[in-house]
Amino acid sequence: MEHRSKCPIASTLDLVGDRWTLLVLRNIFRGSRRYGEHLESPEGIATNILADRLALLEREGLIEKVAYQTRPLRHEYRLTRKGADLLPVLQTLATWSMKHVPDRWAPSERFMHSRPEDFLAQD
């Protein structure tokens, strides 16, 4: 990973500051775990972009691939602590939008009031 500067804000954006990465994370917070579930999100992410971003997030340690079945072997993507810790960023983005952009969906209470730890439980 290459950073434009040592500014902490710029460095975070170097990682997740593009058109899709934070939305992929949002999907996971909202329950998407499998590749196909991500494709159902309302914004309509392209398959190549999704594959690229999942690989990036895994390489950077924000999500991890966990097998959910063998025969055929299939994986799902889960948040690591590093990824889950971006929850406050998504919450503040949502809060801003609710105040300044008219006619948006209301985020769930559960989403707005949860903490990163809440998304780390195993099952």
Partner DNA sequence: AATAGTTACTTGCACTTTGCAAGTTAGTGG
Partner DNA sequence: CCACTAACTTGCAAAGTGCAAGTAACTATT
Does residue 20 touch DNA according to CB under 7 A?
yes
Residues 20-45, buried b or exposed e (16+ Cβ, 10 A)?
bbbbbbbbbbeebbeeeebeeeeeeb
Q: Is 90 in the site for its own copies (CB under 8 A)?
A: yes
DSSP bridge pairs for 66: 76
Residue 121 exposure: Cα atoms within 13 Å on the Cβ side: 7
Min. distance of Cβ 114 from its own copies in angstroms?
A: 14
3-state secondary structure of 70: coil
Of 56, 65, 58, 115, nearest in space to 86 by CA: 115
Asked if 73 is part of the footprint of DNA (rule: CB under 7 A), the reply reads yes
Q: Using CB distances below 5 to 8 A depending on partner kind, what does residue 59 bind out of DNA, its own copies, none?
A: none
**How far apart are alpha carbons 119 and 112 in whole angstroms?**
13
Does position 122 interact with DNA (CB under 7 A)? The reply is no
Name which of DNA, its own copies, none residue 17 binds, using a CB cut-off of 5 to 8 Å depending on partner kind. Answer: its own copies
Binding residues for its own copies, rule: CB under 8 A, are 4-13, 15, 17-19, 22-23, 26, 42-44, 82, 85-86, 88-101, 103-107
Q: Which parts of this chain interact with DNA (CB under 7 A)? A: 18-20, 34-36, 44-49, 51-52, 54-55, 71-76
